[in-house]
Amino acid sequence: MSKRKNWILSMTGMVIVALFLFPVYWMIITAFKTQNEVFRTPPTFFPENFRLDSFLTVISGGVGQYFLNSVIIAGCATIIVLLLSVPSAYGLARFKIRGVALMMLVFLVTQMLPATVVLTPLFVVFNNAGLLNTYVAPILATATLGVPFSVLLLRTFFKGIPKELEEAASIDGCGKVRTFLQVILPISLPSVLVCGAISFFFAWGDLIFSITFNRNQDLWPLTAGIFNAVGRYGIEWNNLMAFATISVLPVIIIFVLLQKHLVEGLVSGSVK
């Protein structure tokens, strides 16, 4: 590739990244501005004086409980997704099971369905089971939609692992369970982390399941708290942006820490 073409592609990539990250940047700097500076014309692209008043107002308004609810819902949903999808995907990849193609098609179809389609059936089921107004309902709802995606992704990766590794472990005296835990899982760790991260992000950003299954606002996650704060704070955009900054901060931290593993896991199943 010529230097000129490389330079053009690099600049194009930087512009695209800047366009995608600008809303996040604007959200963060707005949280540190005063209410008067937010509506200043022309707008300031950097706060004149960093103010933490917005964060103090949001924290005193009960953001801690919303944050704890999000951690509980997203963490438990991620654990359920991994516990169900990892062994399921391995079994579908390694053992001859009738109807695997149909099963994969069903899993794929579930990814095309919007959350509102399954909302009413899940509400009826949870109502009959007495799970409404509990953490269990949104946890199971988000995990239900996360398992098919993880199975589809992990099955492709498991099929790319040479069977000779399992045969060598069997010769060394390992059973199937021990081979899976000590040989296959360490190799597939990047893909497992990808599924866990995506499931966590999906559960962390859930809104419709939480406000539908839980009428008790003490059980609402951060997303529902922001929805509720719109009416509470009105047009106080600095407070709303502080609330939003707190809600996306864990997602940004997780993505930065696991960036290498996420990229590796996403492409690991594409090349045998």
What is the CATH superfamily name and number for domain 62-268? MetI-like (1.10.3720.10)
Predicted local confidence at residue 232, as pLDDT: 59
- Give tens-digit pLDDT for 153-165: 888 888 877 878 8
C-alpha to C-alpha distance for 152 and 89, rounded to whole angstroms: 7
Predicted local confidence at residue 80, as pLDDT: 93
Long-range residue pairs from 129-134, CB within 8 A, at least 24 positions apart, any chain:
131/213, 132/213, 132/214, 132/215, 133/213, 133/214, 133/215, 133/216, 133/219, 134/214, 134/219
- Give tens-digit pLDDT for 127-138: 998 888 889 999
Both structure tokens of 206: 């859930």
User: What number of other Cβ atoms are within 10 A of residue 179's Cβ?
Assistant: 18
Q: What is the CA radius of gyration of the chain?
A: 23
Predicted local confidence at residue 79, as pLDDT: 93
Q: What is the DSSP string of 230-266?
A: HHHHTT-HHHHHHHHHHHHHHHHHHHHHTHHHHHHHH
- Give tens-digit pLDDT for 36-67: 777 777 878 888 777 777 788 778 777 888 88
C-alpha to C-alpha distance for 262 and 255, rounded to whole angstroms: 8
What stretches in the chain show pLDDT beneath 70? 1, 229-235, 260-272
> For the chain, which residues make up each domain, given as ranges?
62-268
